[in-house]
Structure 1
Amino acid sequence: MSRRHREATNVADATLTFEEGTVRVESDADLPHAETDARSKTQRAPGFRYAALREALDRRGIDYEDSVLDAPDLPDVVSTYELREYQRDALAAWDDAGRRGVLELPTGSGKTVIGLKAIEELQTATLVVVPTIDLLEQWRGELESEFGVPVGQLGGGEQTVEAITVSTYDSAYLRADELGDRFGLAVFDEVHHLGGEGYRDIARLLAAPARMGLTATFERPDGAHEVVAQLVGERVYAIDPDELAGDHLAPYDIKRLEVELTPAERERYEEANEVFTDYLATSNIRMQSGSDYRELVKRSGSDPRAREALLAKQRAREVMMNSEGKVEALESVLADHRDDRVIVFTAHNDLVYRLSERFLLPAITHQTGAAERREILGRFRDGDYSRIVTSNVLDEGVDVPDANVAVVLSGSGSEREFTQRLGRILRPTEDDRPALLYEVVSAETAEERVAERRR
């Protein structure tokens, strides 16, 4: 993927240059994806169209000079990892797709290793983009350990650029213009984040012709994965956890535990739910999609009844997600798994702290400082702690030590969230214990439908 320069006998028929996140083409040919700039009498296209423009010139047999990439030299890098069969298949599928596309593999299946092998294969300057500081540190440590070269870092209090650089999405967004021509390969970890409105500009402004997206769950409920496919490439490989369970991931089972609301909880739930459903019956809102919920929120700004319905929905949700029956179910699960490593997931911080106090569980939420979180996870990894409780802060982007039991007390209807929580217990353990996920659901509530939807 080194920079190519085509020269005709005299003067090239076209010239490609890079400026402020766009590729400028000096050519009389009418090229796809490009718009004519009347001022400069050239054609321009967003950086991510660079590879497509070169392909169009090649197809038409047009000689061109290409000075788009200004990538620093990359020392020869070699990874000691040996790819498993499914990892080789994933990398081959990406190669066959023109070295563009998204790879969807379960948490714990070694997506990072595939990215390392892509860098080794292409031997080109590479930008790795990640959503969190934890992943930033993990990728940098892995790259430095494997390749033995300096690795740049954008984020976490450091701003250095090397031939191989790891950046948070936030830092890459802020510096996308200046980074646009520096890399031949861009690797987007947890690539579904790229569907966010602002983050899209990272991929749009980068000229990197080779692009790899890594994720355990590509599709987004808002449909923004279609935008990601335009910027990075289509999903070219996917494998289900069931296909790896027992060989490369721990065999697993999922058990649903239904608990009853107490009489007092049932009364509060039904009362709040009735306020909500009564409003829906007269408002022409069916709550069948995210847009319906957004319409309710919009109306709540000016309609008192809509606001009361929204608040009532929240009250009902809190009752069913934080019921006393769930706490009792957790007590039973913890008693049954005294010798296992257990992660308890909830949707609300309040329940995290309630459970932490009742069962003396180390707690991790968004309010937990980075140093304290590292200490808790470190002790969990070393075996000092055998169980922790958390809200959705550990769903992704954090290196969570091996566990073999997960308890989902509450969550959203998101398939992504469920898949990520399951993935936290799928890494094989030294004693080959199977993984077990408990899904605790309040009976005869909307939570039953939520649980079915995320399945």
Structure 2
Amino acid sequence: MTVRLAYEDGTLRVTHDGDGPPTDGVASLPHVERDDRTDAGRAPAMAYAALAAYLDYREIPYEDDVLRADDLAVSSAYDLRDYQQDALDAWLAGDRVDGGAAGPERERWRVSGSEAAAGSQRQRRWGVLELPTGSGKTVIGLKAIEAVGRSALVVVPTIDLLTQWKRELGREFDREVGQLGGGEQVVRPVTVATYDSAYLRADDLGDRFGLVVFDEVHHLGGEGFRDVARMFAAPARMGLTATFERPDNAHEVVAELVGGVAYRLSADDLAGDHLADYDVKRVEVPLTAEERDRYEDAQGTFTDYLRQSSVQLRSGSDYQELVKRSGTDPRAREALLAKQRARRIVRESDAKVDRLEEILDRHRRDRVIVFTASTDLVYRLSERFLLPAVTHETAASERREVLERFRRGDYSRVVTANVLDEGVDVPDANVAVVFAGSGSEREFTQRLGRVLRPKADGGRALLYELVSADTAEERVADRRR
């Protein structure tokens, strides 16, 4: 019996040429289920390399018509730093930092980079590289494309990143690069796509690439985006991120789709040699008497409801349950509104504004990025200190102009909310001020990363955290650290 593998609408169609129904004998293969509608076996496209490895291992003859990926002879002029080469080597070898096997844990068999024939189009290379902002993850991605030597797709979360990757790939590989997103739908052997566009085209393009690079791979944990990985047959897949773990534990799903963490370094690991040395200075700012009264009143309303209702907030899901309850319970709704008032008071206190003024005056010769937690606060600080503002409402052309002027030195400071945390090529700065933020470790790491690129003068980077003293914001600051 010879098994036949073919790609079909984001899945693998698995049949055989032996006696009996086409599903007999193939439904028992790993990942394959009986599909009576089409009288064939069916498996997710992402299982392609694993299934082929199993057939090889069992010496089961098969015909492989899955991939239409082109051979790709490209080279980059970049010379990798030692840690970048180590990261690439770990990914090529299929290593994981916890010692486990790359890819789905349930697989007892696999073909690693050292075991497979060099250059095989089915060579299975999975894994995530977790490296801080400014460490050159894009360069490693370029070298991975060069090493695999098959047509490659890079998937990114934003149009800004799409533009950056396309420009870099075109310059390094001296070729036209395809683009899916931002008003274009052009597929070439090297293509860049947004997560949205890759999702919409996955069933059509899932057999066209031997390698998929997922930039900011933590986005793949989103419910819809998971299908991008499931519906592509690419046997090589690399995830790039500065912060792999997600508060909702969806990184465990990402590990099943792309592989676990193959290599990990923190900002502390690279500070001084490859990134700027840095200091984090926490500045506790007292509330005014009037702010304190309003805060205690609002916070008390919230905590009284929790106590009287025996509600404990141990996780994000507990808070979501409270939000659901507020739809039918007026007291729960009142408590949530009170919590929002308390949060706004500590995030936007007058004393913080005064302290920011002192910091901006102290660093008038430095390049400063001020991070806030809301668009309204961005505009308030922009008007108060005449700072160029970048928010999700800022048009793409205006944002590019602001950042270009910041890069040239026409502007020495800028204020933003979350829009510059990731997915945007932010010019070098050496001072960051977290005026207000969440308890997310990812958000903090991304904001710190914006000031970590090496300085021409060898100077240190500095991040200020403004925290309202004796409030719940202190616990928020502790959580993100």
Category of TM-score, reference length = shorter chain = over 0.9
Segments of 5+ residues of structure 2 without an aligned counterpart are 17-24, 95-111, 113-124
If the length of structure 2 is used for normalisation, what is the TM-score?
0.91
Distance of 1:54 and 1:208 partners within structure 2: 12
1:52 equivalenced with 2:17 (yes/no): no
Task: Say if 2:372 and 2:418, in contact at 8 Å, map to a contact too.
Answer: yes
SS at match of 1:175: helix
Question: Bigger CA drift: 36-45 or 313-322?
Answer: 36-45
Deviation digits for residues 260-305 of structure 1 (CA, Å, limit 9, x no counterpart): 0011111110010011001101222211210111011101111100
Runs of 4+ in 1 over 4 A off after TM superposition: none
Corresponding position: 1:123 with 2:149? yes
Q: What pairs with 1:286-365 in structure 2 (closer than 5 Å)? A: 286-365=312-391
Return the letter of the residue paired with 1:55: A
Kindly provide the CA deviation profile for residues 334-381 of structure 1, in whole angstroms up to 9, marking residues without a partner as x.
Answer: 111111110000001121111111111101111111111000000000
Task: Look up the match of 2:444.
Answer: 418
The 5 A counterparts of 1:126-145 are: 126-145=152-171
In structure 2, what is the equivalent of residue 427 of structure 1? 453
Alignment partner of 1:84 is 2:74: no
2:469 corresponds, among 443, 446, 449, to 443
1:248 equivalent in structure 2:
274
> Counterpart of 2:106?
none
Gaps of 5+ in 1: 1-11
- Distance, in Å, in 2 between the alignment partners of 1:350 and 1:366 is 11
Q: Which TM-score applies when normalising by structure 1?
A: 0.96
Counterpart residue type for residue 59 of structure 2? G
Matches within 5 A, 1:43-442: 43-74=41-72, 76-97=73-94, 98=112, 99-442=125-468
Deviation for aligned residue 1:440: 0.6
Give the match's secondary structure for 2:254. Answer: helix
Structure 2: distance between partners of 1:452 and 1:266: 21
Residue type matched to 2:83 in 1? Answer: Y
TM alignment of 1:19-58, pairs within 5 A: 19-27=8-16, 28-29=25-26, 30-58=28-56
Question: What is the alpha-carbon distance in structure 2 between the residues aligned to residue 51 and residue 36 of structure 1?
Answer: 19
Residue 100 of structure 2: aligned partner: none
- Please list the CA deviations of residues 202-243 of structure 1 after superposition, one character each: whole Å capped at 9, or x if unmatched: 001000010000000000000100110000011111001111
CA distance in 2, matches of 1:427, 1:400: 11
Aligned residue identity for 1:235: V
The one-letter code matched in structure 1 to 2:311 is I
**CA offsets, 1:305-341, max 9 Å, x none?**
0100010000000000001111111111111111111
Instruction: Provide the rounded CA distance (Å) in 1 between the counterparts of 2:242 and 2:42.
Output: 35
Q: CA deviation at 1:73?
A: 4.5
What amino acid sits opposite 2:266 in the alignment? D
**Residues of 2 paired with 1:113 and 1:313: CA distance?**
44
Supply the distance in 1 between the matched residues of 2:386 and 2:37 (Cα, whole angstroms).
68
